[in-house]
Amino acid sequence: MPYEVRAVARVTGGRHEVADDGWAGVVAVIELAPDVPDEALIGLDAFSHVEVVALADRARDVPPAPWRRRPRDNPAWPDVGVFAQRNKDRPNRLLVSVARIVRVTERAIEVEGLDLVAGTPVLDLKPVVAWNAPRGTVRTPSWSDELGADYY
């Protein structure tokens, strides 16, 4: 069943090239689309972080390509399914990123640590709230911890 989505914003500034690591100090701006009213951002400045849902419009290897692979093609890591990875090459090209809010202006949000490149279409924005964080201990395999060691 097909669904239609539209961009409500676009990433500007920050990185212009896709990269795997080093996102911690990257500052970018999320600018509202022309048809989204200013009022959509009212109150967001009360939050410290924003969750960004975006479209990986430059992803290259999306299914029906491999539904499983070694993360970053690293032979030391296991061959796992696409749903056991967080890479940009997703079946529906959807990305989710959490960034620290630096400031909110009338039509934009300046953020730090957003792992999306300039020009990326933003489909939705949600404030990060403590009550929606994982409850209990978060468990991850060692290869994932290795992969993320230099990510931020």
Instruction: Report the half-sphere exposure of 76 (CA within 13 A, side-chain side).
Output: 5
DSSP SS3 for 73: helix
Q: Centre a 10 Å sphere on the Cβ of residue 120 and count the other Cβ atoms it contains.
A: 28
pTM higher than the cut 0.85? yes
The SS3 of residue 41 is: helix
Could you tell me the residue ranges of all domains in the chain? 9-148
The closest alpha carbon to 120, from 61, 60, 55, belongs to 55
Beta strands per DSSP E along 33-145: 49-55, 68-69, 80-81, 94-104, 108-112, 121-127
**What is the predicted pLDDT for the residue at 145?**
85
Tell me, what's the pLDDT at 26?
A: 82
Q: Which two tokens stand for residue 45?
A: 């400045």
pLDDT at 64: 60
Measure CA 104 to chain center. Answer: 18
- For residue 67, the model assigns a pLDDT of 86
How far, in Å, CA of 28 to CA of 11, rounded?
A: 7
Q: Average pLDDT of 95-99? A: 93
Q: What is the pLDDT of residues 6-50, one digit of tens each?
A: 999 999 988 667 666 556 788 999 999 999 999 999 999 999 999
Tokens describing residue 47? 């939050």
Fold of domain 9-148:
Elongation Factor Tu (Ef-tu); domain 3 (2.40.30)
The predicted structure's pLDDT at residue 144: 87
